[in-house]
Amino acid sequence: MAMENILSFLGAALRLSTPLIYACLAGLWSERAGVIDVGLEGKMLAGAFAGAAVAALTGDVGIGLAAAVAASMTLAAAQGFVEVERGGDQIVCGMAVNMIGAGVTAFVGAALFAEGGRTPALPREARVLPFVWGQDALTLGAFGVAAITAFILYRTRFGLRLRAAGENPRALDAAGGSVRATRHAAVAVCGLLCGLSGADLSLAQAAGFLPAMTAGKGFIALAALVFAKWRPGAALATCLLFGGLDAAAIRMEGAPLPFLGVIPTQAFQALPYLMTVVLLAGFVGGARPPAAAGQPYRRE
Amino acid sequence: MIARLGRGVPEPAAVGLAALVAMAVCAAAIGENPLGLLRALVLGALGDTEGLAFTLYYATDFIFAGLAVAVAYRAGLFNIGVEGQSLVAGVGLALAALASGGAPSWLAILVASLAAMVFGAAWALVPGWLLARRGGHVVITTIMFNFIASALLSWLLVDPMRAQGSMQPETRPFPPGASLLRLDDALVVLGLSPTGSPLNASLALALAAMVAAHVFLFRSRLGFETRVFGASPTAAHYAGVASTRVILIAMGLSGALASGVAINELLGAQNRLILDFSGGAGFVGIAVALLAGNRPLAIAPAALLFGFLYQGGAALGLDYPRVSPQIVTAAQGVMVLLIGGLLGRRR
Amino acid sequence: MPALGAPPALRVFGVTKRFGAVVANKDISLDVARGEIHAIVGENGAGKSTLMSILMGMVTPDAGEIFVDGVRARIRSPRDAAALGLGMVHQHFMLVDTLDVLDNVMLGAEGGALLAAGRKRARARLADLSRAHGLSVDPDAIVGDLPVGLRQRVEILKALARDARIIILDEPTAALTPDEANDLGLLMRWLAADGASILFITHKLNEALAVADRISVLRAGAVVATHAAAATDARELARAMVGRDVDNALSRGDGPPGRTLLEARDLTARGADGRARLSGVSLSLRAGEIVGVAGVAGHGQSELIEVLAAMRRMESGALALDGEPVDAAVYDPARARALGVAHVPEDRSRHGIVGEFPAAGNAILGRHRDRALGRRLLDPGAIRARCADLMERWDVRPRAPDTPVGRFSGGNQQKLVFAREIEAGPAILLVGQPTRGVDIGAIEAIHRRLLALRDAGKAILLVSVELDEIFALSDRILVMHEGRIVGERATASTDRREIGLLMAGVVERAA
């Protein structure tokens, strides 16, 4: 493979990793605080749609990005309210968010643009464009977000409390910290990052929104989170790996590999999920989620 | 009726009402007349025999999927993989049905249905086994297995199982015997006008499965053990309940019930294996089971409600071209979120 | 010694708290002077934990006032409580197992948005405290890796590092050996001499008498007596706790024990964490006797009873029931029941009952294979009738088979468990902590029943952390320490002191 090819492969891998990185870190924030989130996909979809729709209407990528974040955070707030204030089942709420995300985006899209749920194709000025090394600000930002996440999680008061809320919320409560505030904040950050993840899909990778365009990336991100054992650095690495697999699948479509012959694309698509299952099965060292993840907190 | 049967959940009827209100609000938001829209929804689903038959046809899927979720949930297992289990069941069904040429119809149907159940159960047993033996979290593994199933089906249909000479990702049609009795066929024989729907004998099977699930959970010893394990794995251990056995049985039953979706769709309607034939019924099953409080006998009314919403939503497009049928998905999400909150408060 | 003239460090005045129809705290008033150790004793459900939760800001009272150093205090959150100098050592430690000691000590009082500076300060503070009070612990150790005694030390350090001047200790000796409990008593005295005020919650009257300056008794949510420790005794306190004279006189038949029904040789087993919990335990149990197993919590008693009840796998060793060797490979709880072994588990809410199930379902838990409950399918009518019958025989209240058992009181839950296990007619009864979380009325009933069962020829193994209970019921006492049986005594020929020494692992001297 020529140098040029390698570079273009790496570029594609980076681009495909970007939404995964944001979404995976989003899940990390939420789950380290003790709130399991299987609703990443729905919030990403909301972000992708709102970003593209508003960018299409205003022609301004900045407003589009803000709308993406706002839509995703609104869903996260509703989810957080039911989960934290009402003690709702977190898996159920996550699934609900996925349904709302899929339904509302398709419904509003059809009503606004009458193109079967698509948004109109976005002009260049309404998109996030590459500016250095063929990469755009969202891709570069993803690395920054990973670093900031690690810093906050391990070096700040908020991070300490967040980890405590995910491991033993009673201890945090008894020590004078607020489990509610911590979890709400974590869910809000989760919404913010899901919004960016969705915006990357509709404003950077594509020039507009297509119904169901997240295509399971929210769940791949969830898989990556498990694979990374809920640690920020490993999350970044896993998402790069999964993005690389995706890029390899596209590149190798139909091309035979030595010894293996032609590998069907579907095998590459299924690979992240398979790898996560194998990890979960404990064949490659166990993955232990935060102890209180999934448990609503209530004082005795 | 739902309220009475689903005593476990506070006021499911109110939740259903909330969904209708949510849809009306959505309609108003895009400048449509909300009452007119709701009227079109009701008429589309219940206004004529075609709508009614389609409502029941969708409800059939949802009964199977709802039961699949509920039975696993009673064992404390949140099976989000019903969708994937249905898809894999469809593969087994298609393999058997395609090989059934020349066999008498009853035998073809029986073998194809059994193959569906075995494949569906097997696909659910893997996450079950991973949980029982390796401690893999069943929510995550069943989610992953949905995607693996979807990739598998897609590969099978573009490559090994695709009909020769066809560009469509689908198998050749099943032999004529491998097809369930449709309501329309019966109506034609009786000299009545057909409904134009694929409503078929699967509905009867679904209702029978519902009663069987109830008897299993609330009258059998195994069902008692299943519920004890679901409510308290530690107490189940004390009571001498073998956890591996309960997990495998519950997941196996759940996967077998999920195969009902494949039976209704493939043996009842499509008569071939196609991509994504379950159309998200596996996820609707989660909402159905929640609304029914995981009580088998409350599953039918809850499934009927969702059948009504789906058929009504699909029919909306005629009068309201700007309204996407996906409005129903949104309303379903709102319902699930509400039930989630209500459940939380109760605990 | 309490300082004179100054306002009390803590004054609780007229505090009342209701939960629904239940009055958990009724017009409670008490005060703790600077430098005083004030014990609060009371039965389960007397309102001790509600009062503590109120003081720590976890629960808001319906009425009443709290004064700290004579100033009225509004404690609305644990943060308020900490700011007023209140600190608490919880019975169930409020520690994050995955964090290190420093992070646990800092949590909630990090001293700034970034952790680095706070960690440095906390490290220095821990070193000071270690020097001042002899409370050393590795600040970088992960808390989950520490033994129970050290974890409690971290809890204490957490309070001290926040300059708590009023320290509440909730049942702090539950998981300690008598020696460790003594050390804790010395620490309390030391802290009090240093000017701290200590509120010491316990249900062990002797500990209260040994350590406290004053003792308040809580009964049914109200303070019914406050005595100077020097001017009262256990008998008076017990009477105040229960509201009547406690009838300690339990009668037992004096027939000799019968044949050996359970014989265990060299049992070994591991805990959930993979550590060895039983190392070569041998014992025998005969018809018509109660054998008590004494020991500090966590020294293998739970594992012993679980192995005998087939809930935990025995790694090696042999077990024989009524002379018949048991095949360890197929010995599971269902088989144990079939062989006539009944089990009242020590952790009732985890093992003994399913809280959300109706009483009827709980009445057949583990006994659901009984064909009398329906041949092929379970007969709901038969189950309900079985439950009603058990409730009648054991006076379980309310007599409501359809009510979720989680709504019954601890005593009535326990009576239902006993009824279920005993009315099945077992030859051997394994009983763990039979009176934990049970009110005194039910305790007396359960004790009388156990003795009657003994007299009726049952073989009973009793595991309890309550020495009083062991002494009151047992014919023989086995003492466990670090997974071994370190001593066996006839109850009539030993005393608490000797058993206490054995529990602490002091084997030879006691012999």
Question: pLDDT tens across C25-39, in order?
Answer: 999 999 999 999 999
Chain B residues closer than 8 Å to A222 by CB: 140, 143
The pTM of the full predicted model, rounded to 2 decimals, is 0.88
Q: Where are the alpha helices (DSSP H) in C44-177?
A: 48-55, 78-83, 101-106, 115-133, 148-161
Q: Cα dihedral angle (A3, A143, A44, A80), rounded to 10 degrees?
A: 160
Chain B residues closer than 8 Å to A91 by CB: 78, 80, 139
The amino acid that residue A125 corresponds to is E
CA distance C80 to B132: 46
Chain A residues closer than 8 Å to B324 by CB: 106-107, 109-111, 117
Q: What is the pLDDT of residue C246?
A: 65
- The number of folded domains in chain A is 1
Mean pLDDT (whole number) for C119-135: 91
Element (H, E) at C218: strand C214-219
Q: Cα dihedral angle (A237, A242, A243, A244), rounded to 10 degrees?
A: 90
Q: What is the pLDDT of residue B113?
A: 96
- Closest by alpha carbon to C421, among C453, C377, C463, C397? C453
Angle between helices A3-32 and A40-58 (to 10 degrees): 120
pLDDT of residue B321 exceeding 60, the answer is yes
Which residue range forms the structural domain that includes residue A156? 18-127+136-219
What are the structural domains of chain C? 10-242 (3.40.50.300), 260-510 (3.40.50.300)
Question: pLDDT tens across B101-136, in order?
Answer: 888 999 999 999 999 999 999 999 999 999 998 888
pLDDT of residue C113 exceeding 80, the answer is yes
pLDDT of residue C371 exceeding 60, the answer is yes
B337 to A79: CB separation less than 8 angstroms, yes or no:
yes
In a domain, A201, yes or no: yes
A 10 A CB-CB count for C378 gives: 20
Distance, first Cα to last Cα, chain B: 24
C289-294 vs C476-481, strand pairing mode:
parallel
**Contact (Cβ atoms closer than 8 angstroms) between residue A199 and residue A122:** no
Q: What is the pLDDT of residue B11?
A: 58
Chain C residues closer than 8 Å to B220 by CB: 377-378
Q: How far is A220 from chain B (nearest CA, A)?
A: 8
CA distance C68 to C73: 6
The amino acid that residue C340 corresponds to is G
**Contact (Cβ atoms closer than 8 angstroms) between residue B305 and residue B16:** yes
Q: What is the pLDDT of residue A131?
A: 81
Q: To the nearest whole percent, how much of chain C has pLDDT over 70?
A: 97
Which of the residue ranges B335-339, C18-22, C121-125, C322-326 would you say has the lowest mean pLDDT? C18-22
Q: To the nearest whole percent, how much of chain B has pLDDT over 70?
A: 95
Q: What is the pLDDT of residue C68?
A: 95
Q: Return all residues near C78 (Cβ < 8 A) that are at least 6 apart.
A: A173, A174, A175, A176, C56, C57, C58, C108
> By CA distance, what is C382's nearest residue in B?
B219
Q: Residue for token digits 């590149």? A: A251
pLDDT band at B225 (very low <50, low <70, confident <90, very high): very high
Reading the block at residue C106, the tokens are 């800092």
Q: Return all residues near B99 (Cβ < 8 A) that are at least 6 apart.
A: none
Q: What is the pLDDT of residue B3?
A: 36
pLDDT of residue C413 exceeding 60, the answer is yes
> Can you spell out the DSSP letters for C276-290?
EEEEEEEEEEETTEE
Q: What is the pLDDT of residue B323?
A: 87
pLDDT of residue C47 exceeding 50, the answer is yes
pLDDT of residue B4 exceeding 50, the answer is no
CA distance B119 to C498: 66
Chain C residues closer than 8 Å to A173 by CB: 58, 78
Residues of chain A with pLDDT under 70: 1, 254, 260, 283-286, 300
Interface of A with B in 149-208 (CB under 8 A): none
Angle between helices A3-32 and A179-199 (to 10 degrees): 150
pLDDT of residue C251 exceeding 70, the answer is yes
CA distance A143 to A149: 10
Work out how many CB contacts closer than 8 A connect A with C: 78
Distances (CA, A) of A228 to A210, B146, C424: 30, 21, 51
Q: What is the pLDDT of residue C21?
A: 78
C333 to B224: CB separation less than 8 angstroms, yes or no:
no
Q: How far is B231 from chain C (nearest CA, A)?
A: 7
> By CA distance, what is A94's nearest residue in B?
B337
Per the prediction, chain C carries an average pLDDT of 90
User: What is the arrangement of strands in the sheet containing C484-490, beginning at the earlier edge strand?
Assistant: C341-344, C428-432, C459-463, C289-294, C476-481, C484-490
In a domain, A26, yes or no: yes
- Closest by alpha carbon to B213, among B82, B331, B99, B72? B72
Work out how many CB contacts closer than 8 A connect A with B: 164
Tell me the torsion sign for CA atoms C77, C83, C88, C94: positive
Q: What is the pLDDT of residue A243?
A: 93
In a domain, A7, yes or no: no
B240 to C337: CB separation less than 8 angstroms, yes or no:
yes
Q: What is the pLDDT of residue C249?
A: 67
Q: What is the pLDDT of residue A271?
A: 85
Reading the block at residue C292, the tokens are 């008590």
pLDDT of residue B1 exceeding 70, the answer is no
Q: Residue for token digits 């309960």? A: B246
CA distance C271 to C277: 6
Q: What is the pLDDT of residue A90?
A: 92
Fold that domain B2-346 belongs to in CATH: ABC transporter involved in vitamin B12 uptake, BtuC (1.10.3470)
A175 to C158: CB separation less than 8 angstroms, yes or no:
yes
CA distance B222 to C216: 52
C63-68 vs C71-73, strand pairing mode:
antiparallel
B135 to A114: CB separation less than 8 angstroms, yes or no:
no
**Contact (Cβ atoms closer than 8 angstroms) between residue C498 and residue C510:** yes
pLDDT of residue B347 exceeding 60, the answer is no
How many degrees, rounded to 5, is the angle at CA C411 between CA C409 and CA C413?
70
Mean pLDDT (whole number) for C385-407: 93
